[in-house]
Amino acid sequence: MRYDSLLDSLGRTPLVGLPRLSPAPTARLWAKLEDRNPTGSVKDRAAFFMVSQAEKEGLLKPGSTLLEPTSGNTGISLAMVAKLRGYRMICVMPENTSAERRQLLEMYGAEIISSPAAGGSNEAVRVAKQLAADHPDWVMLYQYGNEANSLAHYETTGPELLEDLPTITHFVAGLGTTGTLMGTGRYLREHVPGVQIVAAEPRYGELVYGLRNIDEGFVPELYDESVLTSRFSVSSADALRRTRELLDREGLFAGISSGAAVHAALAMAHKAAAAGQPADVAVMIADGGWRYLSTGAYSGTLDEAEARLEGQLWA
Amino acid sequence: MAIEVRIPTILRSYTGGAKSVEGSGDTLAGLIADLEERYGGLQERLVDDSGLRRFVNVYLNDEDVRFLGGLDAPVKDGDTVTVLPAVAGGTR
């Protein structure tokens, strides 16, 4: 396949069957490999669409500064696009994000502002919103509320899935900004009667929940509950276990949110198999495992990794 | 009849510091009312006039109750209910 430039190669990622993990020949899992994007994660879609939309609206000029609260993948995607388009990139992220993410960001020329680990990504959002208010000339695309995030999936991920898997019965993905599920979910629900849109939400650790006043929680502005048909809370232990199963049984080296999504996808597939219903469950592999190696998630026994990582996987 | 209810840190002041309590009921609403009898003030943190409070998530056996009937979701002995504040994040 040939493209004029790296950004043109965005999307159109492979959908690969998981015959060893699938519970039955008629209840199958299909992994959408989003690590096959320009910077290696699903966020490339959202980043490209958000920047393009901002350019169309005249919000960005050569030398503009982009500011974004991000745990890493969005920052990496935006930093790449910023580099190619001539913008300055500032990322606000929790101080406990993994070393690989910081390294990648710096390689792409991004500047990092660390927010406290306590409060996680939601604290990073607060810090970023304050910085945006203090610097009105900076542009915060704001992945948690920018419709171009979900639109990217409505226009690309959804159609790709339907084209590759016309018999799709379920779409399962991790829930973070909610962009992937909202955009892909909306598209699939418009075109496939009865399709199930299933969110796999990470069970975060104490640090992320700990400081929250229960009335000052955070629900991404993009989130529209009516697009989902179910939402599961997946523990770090289960996410890790499935991530390792993907590697051990299917040879697929995926990131931890993919393990969480596979956990929920397997539950859906088993339920269908038990009911004698066919199922074609597409599951989002948001990134590869590379950016998590330094967390120790893939080293030692599963029990050792679980003990080491409990409460540490998410930010 | 025992249903385990896991309480987030931010609400443990209502349960005397306990991170897990037991209750009974046929629906989530009934369960919350039952807990209110022993842990006064808890109900108001979870529920308002329109139902479950916006920034409170409740999971029944790890599934978000908003997709299982909300406050009318049926609950039974042996179920686990987890209460968590609404947050959104990313991976490390």
* Distance, CA of A170 to CA of A195 (rounded, Å): 6
* Distance, CA of A253 to CA of A36 (rounded, Å): 12
pLDDT on residue B83: 97
Q: Which CATH architecture has domain A6-36+157-295?
A: 3-Layer(aba) Sandwich (3.40)
For the segment A64-83, the average pLDDT, to the nearest whole number, is 93
Closest-CA distance of chain A to residue B78, Å = 18
Please answer yes or no on whether A212 and B88 come within 8 Å at the CB atom: no
Radius of gyration of chain B (CA): 12
Closest-CA distance of chain B to residue A231, Å = 5
pLDDT on residue B92: 63
Which tokens go with A165?
């898997």
Please answer yes or no on whether A233 and B90 come within 8 Å at the CB atom: no
Dump pLDDT digits (tens) for A198-247. Answer: 999 999 877 777 655 677 788 999 999 999 999 999 999 999 999 999 99
In a domain, B62, yes or no: yes
pLDDT surpassing 80 at residue A154: yes
Paired residues of A174 in beta bridges: A200
* Distance, CA of A180 to CA of A155 (rounded, Å): 11
Q: How many CA atoms within 13 Å lie on the side-chain side of B55?
A: 20
pLDDT on residue A275: 96
Closest-CA distance of chain B to residue A209, Å = 7
Classify each residue of A119-139 as buried b or exposed e, where b means 16 or more C-beta atoms within 10 Å of its C-beta: bbbbbbbbbbeebbeeeeebb
Element holding A189 (H helix, E strand): helix A179-191
> Is pLDDT larger for residue A103 or for residue A262?
A262
Q: Starting from the edge strand earliest in sequence, which strands make up the sheet with A65-69, in order?
A: A111-115, A88-94, A65-69, A139-140
In a domain, B91, yes or no: no
To the query of whether residue A43 is one of the catalytic residues in this protein, the response is yes
In a domain, B90, yes or no: no
Q: Between B11, B56, B92, which is nearest A98 by CB?
A: B92
- Give A311's pLDDT tier (boundaries 50, 70, 90): low
Please answer yes or no on whether A233 and B67 come within 8 Å at the CB atom: no
Among all residues of chain A, which has the CA nearest to that of B45?
Answer: A214
Neighbours of B55 (CB within 10 A): 17
DSSP A194: T
- Could you please report the per-residue DSSP string of A151-168? HHIIIIIHHHHHHH-TT-
* Distance, CA of A211 to CA of A194 (rounded, Å): 40
Q: How many domains does chain B have?
A: 1
pLDDT on residue A209: 76
* Distance, CA of B63 to CA of A232 (rounded, Å): 5
pTM value is 0.95
Domain range spanning residue B76? 3-85
The domains of chain A are located at 6-36+157-295, 43-140
Using a CB-CB distance cutoff of 8 angstroms, which residues of chain B are in contact with residue A143? none
- Domain with B80 in it: what CATH number? 3.10.20.30
- Residue A296 Cα distances to A118, A161, A250, A300, angstroms: 21, 32, 20, 8
Dump pLDDT digits (tens) for A79-90. Answer: 999 999 999 999
In a domain, B23, yes or no: yes
In a domain, B8, yes or no: yes
* Distance, CA of A161 to CA of B50 (rounded, Å): 37
Spot the catalytic one: A32, A43, A236, A258. Answer: A43
In a domain, B30, yes or no: yes
Using a CB-CB distance cutoff of 8 angstroms, which residues of chain B are in contact with residue A35? none
Residues A153 and A34 sit within 8 Å (Cβ to Cβ): no
pLDDT on residue A211: 58
Dump pLDDT digits (tens) for B45-87. Answer: 999 999 999 999 999 999 999 999 999 999 999 999 999 999 8
CATH of domain A43-140: 3.40.50.1100
pLDDT on residue A312: 67
